[in-house]
Structure 1
Amino acid sequence: MTTHIIDVPLRWRDLDTNGHVYHGTYLTLLDEARSTWLRSGLALAGADSHLIARLEIDYVSELTVDAGTVAVECAIERLGTTSLRTAETMRTPDGTVVARSHAVVVFWDRETRRSAPPSAEDRARLEAALADQQAQPPVER
């Protein structure tokens, strides 16, 4: 699977006083989707041994609890030695893009407390997913 779409529910507590999903909550929604994608979509054995080194987000349109859920599409933009850069698009059920983000995910060795390359098995999964993505026609983001 090259990209993965994860549906994340919206909660009443996600709202600000204007009835919009609070801007900081977008980061939580993206993190939930990204973590699910690494664990389930890519099936990485070391999916829970990572940290975020950089996060960029563009807020495109408003999001209210009326949407019920958001779908987050996750894809690999670039694979490095100890990290990967992702591209993520968050949409409402009607397809409206509400945010676009990029994250640098660093693989982490819990014992040494330093960045580390993914296992050979995980690297092979990441390389295969990236190759599959590159073989597909571009998708409008």
Structure 2
Amino acid sequence: MRHIYRCPLRWADMDAYGHVNNVVFLRYLEEARIDFLFRPEKNFQQGSVVARHEIDYKRQLVHRHTPVDIELWVTETKAASFTITYEVKDGDVVYVRASTVVVPYDFAEQRPRRLTADEQEFLAEYRDDAEKAVAA
């Protein structure tokens, strides 16, 4: 299963050429990740931190007033980390493909932690074959 976040584009996201600035895509990924992880029914309440981002810019996204879709899914789960893969797109047009390694974190103890059984179960629902997206 995949999670879809409808990301609004803002006037301030635009660069001098009228395209969404490449740096802004990091914020878009963050918004999609927060929408995915911090829903009332499935909450990573103990927190998490980003360990790594990889972004492949495929095409320029021109600023407009309609949202862009960010589709995300889980491609790897380990005991103390997981990888989220994203596509920022309109239908079949892909602007960005990206991935983020997320580490569960205990802010009270100030250290990484293992995924709980509930978190692992939640993430398993969103496991998907990343090759489908990469091959497209």
Name the stretch that deviates more: 116-125 or 83-92: 116-125
Q: Which residue of 1 aligns with 2:34?
A: 35
What's the CA shift for 1:95?
3.5
CA distance in 1, matches of 2:49, 2:123: 17
State which of 96, 112, 122 in structure 2 corresponds to 1:125: 122
Query: Which residue pairs with 2:60 in the alignment?
Result: 62
Unaligned runs of 5+ in 2: none
Mapped contact 2:20–2:63 kept (Cα < 8 A): yes
In structure 1, list runs of 5 or more residues that go unmatched: none
Instruction: Please tell me whether the aligned partners of residues 59 and 94 of structure 2 are also in contact (alpha carbons under 8 angstroms).
Output: yes
Alignment of 1:20 onto 2:19: yes
Does 2:80 match 1:82?
yes
Distance 2:85 2:41 in 1: 18
Moved over 3 A (4+): 137-141
Who is 2:70 aligned against? Answer: 72
**1:47 Cα deviation from its structure 2 partner:** 5.3
Contact in 2 for aligned 1:35/1:47 (Cα 8 Å): no
Higher helix share: 1
Corresponding letter in the other structure for 2:120? R
**Identical positions, percent:** 27
What is the rounded CA distance, in whole Å, between the counterparts of 2:115 and 2:44 in structure 1? Answer: 7
> Cα 1:128–1:98, aligned 2, differ >3 Å: closer, same or farther?
closer
Aligned residues: 134
Which of 106, 109, 116 aligns to 1:109? It is: 106
Residue 3 of structure 2 corresponds to residue 11 of structure 1: no
Q: Cα distance, 1:107 vs. partner?
A: 0.5
RMSD: 2.2
SS in 2 for 1:82: coil
Question: SS at the partner of 2:126?
Answer: helix
Measure, in 2, the Cα distance between the counterparts of 1:66 and 1:128: 33
